Every structure is written in structure tokens, then in C-alpha cells.
């Protein structure tokens, strides 16, 4: 199993070793291009395979609310509140799971 949020670091460029800010990491993650250019040196960086797996696990975590609702009878607004809390928490923690590498890994998983 993949451990979440360790070691609690923002991504670091493999070329210039500069740490990206949280804001820059979010902007780079939500682009359609797989290559992410470093804000300080401009070199192309790619997300690691392990990092992509962690991101998908964060998204799947939101489905935990459906499983919890199957065992407990919650009101609709409680379910919405749980979804919002999980999505906001995942969004805040996503840049800490972003790890970079120099070359593109062509395998999706």
C-alpha cells in the first residue's frame, strides 16, 4: 500500500533543486500538458508514476462517503458536507504528493 503524504514536502525540480510553491504546484497539476516547466529554470518536468497513483487514491477516497452511507443513515446535507470536506482536504494536500522526474514515463500506471 502506498503511504500518503510522506515526507510532507512540496515538489522539487530535478534540475535546479528549487522547491515549487503550493500555488505553482496546483497550477501545474491542473494543466492538460503532461510536461510541467519549472518556474525557476524552465526545464520540463514530469510527474512520477508513484505520484500519479497517490493522486488517484486521493480521488477514490471521496467514494468512502458512499460506503459510510451504506452502513449509517445520514441526511443528504451531511453527505454533501462530508464530500466537501474530503474534496477540500484532498485539494489542499495534493501538491504535497506531487513528485517530479526528468523523463516522461510512458506507462500510465
- Strand partners of residue 100: 47
Mean pLDDT of 1-5: 51
Closest to 100 measured CA to CA, from 41, 59, 1: 41
For residue range 27-48, what is the model confidence (pLDDT) as tens digits?
Answer: 888 887 888 888 888 889 998 8
Residues making up the chain, counted from first to last? 109
Higher pLDDT, 1 or 34: 34
Strongest mean pLDDT among 4-8, 46-50, 51-55: 46-50
* Confidence bin at 56 (pLDDT 50/70/90): confident
What residue segments make up the domains of the chain, in order of their start?
22-101
Report pLDDT for 1: 47
For residue range 72-101, what is the model confidence (pLDDT) as tens digits?
Answer: 888 888 888 888 888 888 888 888 888 888
Whole-number Å distance between alpha carbons of 69 and 100: 37
Quick check: 26 and 94 in contact, CB under 8 A? yes
Amino acid at each position: 500500500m502506498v503511504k500518503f503524504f510522506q515526507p510532507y514536502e512540496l515538489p522539487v525540480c530535478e534540475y535546479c533543486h528549487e522547491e515549487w510553491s503550493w500555488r505553482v504546484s496546483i497550477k501545474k497539476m491542473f494543466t492538460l500538458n503532461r510536461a510541467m516547466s519549472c518556474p525557476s529554470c524552465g526545464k520540463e518536468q514530469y510527474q512520477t508514476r508513484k505520484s500519479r497513483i497517490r493522486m488517484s487514491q486521493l480521488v477514490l477516497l471521496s467514494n468512502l462517503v458512499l460506503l459510510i452511507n451504506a452502513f449509517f443513515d445520514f441526511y443528504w446535507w451531511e453527505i454533501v458536507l462530508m464530500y466537501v470536506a474530503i474534496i477540500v482536504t484532498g485539494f489542499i494536500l495534493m501538491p504535497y504528493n506531487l513528485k517530479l522526474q526528468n523523463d516522461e514515463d510512458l506507462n500510465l500506471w
